[in-house]
Amino acid sequence: MKGRIVSLNISAKKGIRKKPIKEVLLKTNYGIEGDAHASSKWHRQVSLLSLESIRKMQDKGLNVNPGDFAENITTEGIDLPTLPVGTKMTIGNNIEVEVSQIGKECHTRCAIYYLAGDCVMPKEGIFVTVLKGGKVREGDEIVVII
């Protein structure tokens, strides 16, 4: 299964929308350099959400874009929530990540939830740990390998 990276997004604080940037550095066993969620102390180093999931919210009439759900990497072409924990993927030039969690519990309702009565990130977002880091650019290929 192959897809591509539509958007790369970071924020300095947790709990806010992330801003798109053209390139990020994924650090092994850490996450995205400069992002508030990066840490070697937990398994949710990098978050991914598909453009297809964002379009579901747009179809409900919301003006939302990549990064608005606080995801680090917005993908297209891969059905992310169907990937089991332990699935490995390559990104761009030999970067390797491993799915560590599918979805998440939403402890506090975000602004998107209050606007739409629903949010896709808790159900359709996934989290990965970085097995082998490197630079990732918007448009890079992402491939499910295991």
For 39-64, write each residue's pLDDT tens digit: 888 898 999 999 999 998 888 888 88
Q: Say if strands 23-27 and 73-76 run parallel, antiparallel, or are unpaired.
A: unpaired
Locate 31 and state its tokens: 């996450």
Q: Give the per-residue pLDDT at 111.
A: 57
Q: Give the per-residue pLDDT at 135.
A: 97
Q: Give the per-residue pLDDT at 16.
A: 76
Residue 15 DSSP SS3: coil
CATH of the domain at 13: 2.40.33.20
Q: pTM for this structure?
A: 0.90
Whether 54 contacts 63, CB under 8 Å: no
pLDDT greater at residue 62 or residue 135: 135
Residue 131 DSSP SS3: strand
Domain interval for residue 51: 2-144
Strand partners, 2: 143
pLDDT greater at residue 21 or residue 122: 21
| Total count of domains within the chain | 1
The residue assigned the tokens 């964002």 is 54
Q: Give the per-residue pLDDT at 105.
A: 64
